């Protein structure tokens, strides 16, 4: 085989600041051949794709955008670990592409100086040259290349220019050893790094890897962080003692962060004198003009309120017809498949378990896609950062950040897109708190429960000619969740999720026209990842509840109703379906689910419930809106009930206990509504929580916390309402 024909494989890491066009470049390089790499123990992920150049196959790892390699949390450590090939299942890069935004080159170059100290073969991809030019800044790529000692290729990924050149340069670079960037650190600092590096190498055997010099620099400057914890664990007090001594000696009363930043930015400032020519421009940039309106005290607030109203309304109302289509299609599919199958367990599994389960997963897709359509457009536009800027003061009162606002607002439509939307929150603890709070926002699936019980038990009354009591109760139900979320947020942020400081240092990127391709990519990724990952868990839980409600099938019950059918005096459709519905109800009571309902009756009695409500609540854990259909079955109406059905409303109004007293009254109805407002009855939410936090800890905590809260809330509601004579 000749040299030219040999297939060679490489792996490169793609790094750079956020908002630099890094993901556009990744897409331009890899097209659709990409997958998500989940890193264990952290909440960030990277995308992996492949690109070809001649006979080479190059794997590209798109690492999360970051301003620095300093690592105070495991999430921030990922970039360094990935760069050094220390993440299991992710290939070790033999080169790196650093993406730099020419329009704010000074700050962008900061991370380049850190990455180049690792000495990997590197290429700089220079983006946003057009934006820089429009501001009167011209960047000399050749001089930048001379300064940094690595090739620089100007690119425009959305237009596709420079990509071929970048690949060719990268290919060439990968065949030569990289060069370590040498910066002018003070002598004491260099000596400190060297001494610590030596100590780390001595520790290397126990660490399981050979620490490189830039890691020693990071450890020396950052002090605390995941790498320090790791070293402390294997090196014990002997290591930490030496570490603190070296650190103190090196710092000599100064701040090491300051030394690092001044050295790097000092070098950058010198280089830029040659690299960058800024033509003095009078007047304001387009972004300044737009911001004059969008962050204006009055107009900015008005636009913001309008945007939020629009997003909320759209998730709520646009998704309705689409959800109906999905619901109808799966109903029809179930009927069609059911019609071709013989009665029995298999038919019930396919129709009521699998088809209904898949439908139950896909029904959330319209809401997810609509929310992400807005988020993707606003993010690409640069508005999301402004929204956070506007809302930060209010959210910071609850220990959250401005970035938490949009996810929480969308939680009122559906917690799933809300949780997925928390990725924009940089601080890990703030993000976890927001994820935990999202299910407290009263989502649209709770509405059927409210509608049914409010219509049935809250009297129609008007105050002052326009305030409707039913409307007030509905509003109050929405408020219950918020009311529970506020102290939860404060407790979380003051307690276990306390961020020492929650820095709200937020870049306000320049406005850009949203690119349909980028928006489409976000929709495709978010929609796909929801269906694939969450879908499996939701489906499993749905089938589990189906089985609990189906088995054991009693022949006695069938015999009893068969006999009734046979002796039917008048053979009408109506009479038949009445008996069939009674049969379904009897089977459900006899099922494991029905038995569980009976078993927990003593526990739900203080809430004003009987076994039937208890069972319906349990059956609603996979998806809370199921309660309406379950109540339909249990009260022998058949499963095809919805919250608007007058019959179901009448039946719950008239349902009786064995002693003849009414099962439901206003107090019971309120207690059920409060329970549903607070309870974590959504397998999809828990599955998404697991996926986004990369741990079972959070969904389990959320489930236990919300269920307990729901129980207590319902208990208090019933007891108080009963005492008040409800």
Binding positions for other proteins, rule: CB under 8 A: 67-68, 70, 72, 103-104, 106-107, 110, 135, 137, 221-223, 255, 257-258, 260-262, 265, 287-288, 291, 295-298, 300-301, 385, 388-390, 392-394, 396, 402, 500-501, 503-510
Shorter beta-carbon distance to other proteins: residue 501 or 569: 501
Q: 14 in the Ramachandran plot: left (φ > 0), alpha (ψ -120 to 50) or beta?
A: beta
3-state secondary structure 630-676: HHHHHCCCCCCCCCCCHHHHHHHHHCECCCCCECCCHHHHHHHHHHH
- Reported as type and span, the H/E element at residue 125 is strand 122-127
For residues 346 and 684, give the distance between their C-alpha atoms in angstroms, rounded to a whole number.
Answer: 25
Residue 596's Cβ-count burial label (10 Å; 0-12, 13-18, 19+) is middle
Contact 480, 677 (CB under 8 A): yes
Give the closest residue to 347 by CA, choosing from 358, 337, 357, 332. Answer: 337
Residue 295's Cβ-count burial label (10 Å; 0-12, 13-18, 19+) is middle
Strand partners, 277: 138
Contact 90, 115 (CB under 8 A): no
Shorter beta-carbon distance to other proteins: residue 154 or 509: 509
Provide, rounded to whole angstroms, the least separation between the CB of residue 107 and other proteins.
5
For residues 237 and 439, give the distance between their C-alpha atoms in angstroms, rounded to a whole number.
Answer: 44
Shorter beta-carbon distance to other proteins: residue 497 or 637: 497
Shorter beta-carbon distance to other proteins: residue 298 or 463: 298
The three-class DSSP label of residue 47 is strand
Provide, rounded to whole angstroms, the least separation between the CB of residue 690 and other proteins.
29
DSSP class of residue 695 equals S
- Reported as type and span, the H/E element at residue 12 is strand 8-16
Shorter beta-carbon distance to other proteins: residue 364 or 511: 511
Provide, rounded to whole angstroms, the least separation between the CB of residue 389 and other proteins.
5
Shorter beta-carbon distance to other proteins: residue 52 or 397: 397
HSE, side-chain direction, 13 A CA sphere, residue 490: 7
Provide, rounded to whole angstroms, the least separation between the CB of residue 289 and other proteins.
12
Provide, rounded to whole angstroms, the least separation between the CB of residue 30 and other proteins.
28
Provide, rounded to whole angstroms, the least separation between the CB of residue 296 and other proteins.
8
Provide, rounded to whole angstroms, the least separation between the CB of residue 132 and other proteins.
9
For residues 681 and 703, give the distance between their C-alpha atoms in angstroms, rounded to a whole number.
Answer: 8
Provide, rounded to whole angstroms, the least separation between the CB of residue 280 and other proteins.
13
Shorter beta-carbon distance to other proteins: residue 56 or 262: 262
Shorter beta-carbon distance to other proteins: residue 41 or 269: 269
Shorter beta-carbon distance to other proteins: residue 50 or 287: 287
Phi then psi for 708, rounded to 5 degrees? Answer: -60, -45
Sign (positive or negative) of CA dihedral 363, 368, 370, 371: positive
Provide, rounded to whole angstroms, the least separation between the CB of residue 462 and other proteins.
36
């Amino acid at each position: 085989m000749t040299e030219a024909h040999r297939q060679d494989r490489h792996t490169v890491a793609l790094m750079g600041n956020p908002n630099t066009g890094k993901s556009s470049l990744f897409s331009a390089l890899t097209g659709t051949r990409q997958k998500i790499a989940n890193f264990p123990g952290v909440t960030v992920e990277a995308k992996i794709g492949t690109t070809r150049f001649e006979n080479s196959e190059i794997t590209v790892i798109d690492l999360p955008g970051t301003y620095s390699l300093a690592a105070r949390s495991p999430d921030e450590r990922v970039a360094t670990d990935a760069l050094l090939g220390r993440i299991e299942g992710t290939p070790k890069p033999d080169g790196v592409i650093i993406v730099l935004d020419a329009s704010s080159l000074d700050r962008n170059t900061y991370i380049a100086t850190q990455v180049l100290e690792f000495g990997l073969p590197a290429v700089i991809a220079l983006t946003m040259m057009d934006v820089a030019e429009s501001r009167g800044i011209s960047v000399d790529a050749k001089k930048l290349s001379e300064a940094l000692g690595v090739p620089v290729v100007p690119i425009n990924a959305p237009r596709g220019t420079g990509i071929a050149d970048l690949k060719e340069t990268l290919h060439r670079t990968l065949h030569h050893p990289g060069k370590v960037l040498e910066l002018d650190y003070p002598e004491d600092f260099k000596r400190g790094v060297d001494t610590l590096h030596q100590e780390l190498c001595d520790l290397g055997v126990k660490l399981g890897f050979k620490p490189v010099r830039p890691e020693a620099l990071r450890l020396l400057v950052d002090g605390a962080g995941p790498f320090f914890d790791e070293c402390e664990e294997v090196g014990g007090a002997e290591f930490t003692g030496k570490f603190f001594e070296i650190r103190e000696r090196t710092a000599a009363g100064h701040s090491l962060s300051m030394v690092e930043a001044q050295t790097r930015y000092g070098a950058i400032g010198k280089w830029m004198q040659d690299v960058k020519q800024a033509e003095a421009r009078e007047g304001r940039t387009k972004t300044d003009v737009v911001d004059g309106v969008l962050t204006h005290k009055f107009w900015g607030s008005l636009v913001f309120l309008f945007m939020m109203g629009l997003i909320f309304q759209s998730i709520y109302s646009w998704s309705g017809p689409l959800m109906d289509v999905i619901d109808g299609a799966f109903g029809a599919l179930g009927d069609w498949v059911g019609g071709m199958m013989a009665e029995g367990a298999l038919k019930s599994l396919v129709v009521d378990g699998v088809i209904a389960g898949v439908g139950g997963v896909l029904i959330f897709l319209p809401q997810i896609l609509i929310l992400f359509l807005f988020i993707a457009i606003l993010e690409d536009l640069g508005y999301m950062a402004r929204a956070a800027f506007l809302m930060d003061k209010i959210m910071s009162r609850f220990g959250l950040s401005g970035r938490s606002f949009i996810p929480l607002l969308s939680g009122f439509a559906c917690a799933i897109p809300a949780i997925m939307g928390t990725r924009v929150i940089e601080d890990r603890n703030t993000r976890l708190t927001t994820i935990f709070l999202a299910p407290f926002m009263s989502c649209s699936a709770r509405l059927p429960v409210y509608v049914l019980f409010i219509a049935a038990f809250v009297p129609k009354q008007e105050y002052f000619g326009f305030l409707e009591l039913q409307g007030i109760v509905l509003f109050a139900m929405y408020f219950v969740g918020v009311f529970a979320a506020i102290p939860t947020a404060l407790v979380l942020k003051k307690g276990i999720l306390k961020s020492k400081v929650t820095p709200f240092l937020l870049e306000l990127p320049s406005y850009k026209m949203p690119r349909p391709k980028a928006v489409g990519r976000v929709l495709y990724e978010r929609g796909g990842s929801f269906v694939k990952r969450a879908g499996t868990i939701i489906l499993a839980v749905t089938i589990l509840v189906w089985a609990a409600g189906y088995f054991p099938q009693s022949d006695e019950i069938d015999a009893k109703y068969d006999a009734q059918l046979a002796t039917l005096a008048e053979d009408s459709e109506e009479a038949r379906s009445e008996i069939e519905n009674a049969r379904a109800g009897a089977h459900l009571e006899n099922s494991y689910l029905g038995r569980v309902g009976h078993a927990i009756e003593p526990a739900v009695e203080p809430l004003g419930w009987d076994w039937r409500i208890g069972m319906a609540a349990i059956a609603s854990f996979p998806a809370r809106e199921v309660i309406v259909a379950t109540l339909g079955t249990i009260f022998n109406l058949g499963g095809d009930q919805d919250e608007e059905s007058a019959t179901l409303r009448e039946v719950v109004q008239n349902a009786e206990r064995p002693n003849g007293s009414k099962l439901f009254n206003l107090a019971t109805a309120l207690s059920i509504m409060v329970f549903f407002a607070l309870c974590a009855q959504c397998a999809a939410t828990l599955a998404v929580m697991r996926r986004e936090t990369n741990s079972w800890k959070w969904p389990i905590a959320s489930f236990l916390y919300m269920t307990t809260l729901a129980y207590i809330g319902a208990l208090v509601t019933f007891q108080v309402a009963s005492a008040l004579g409800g």
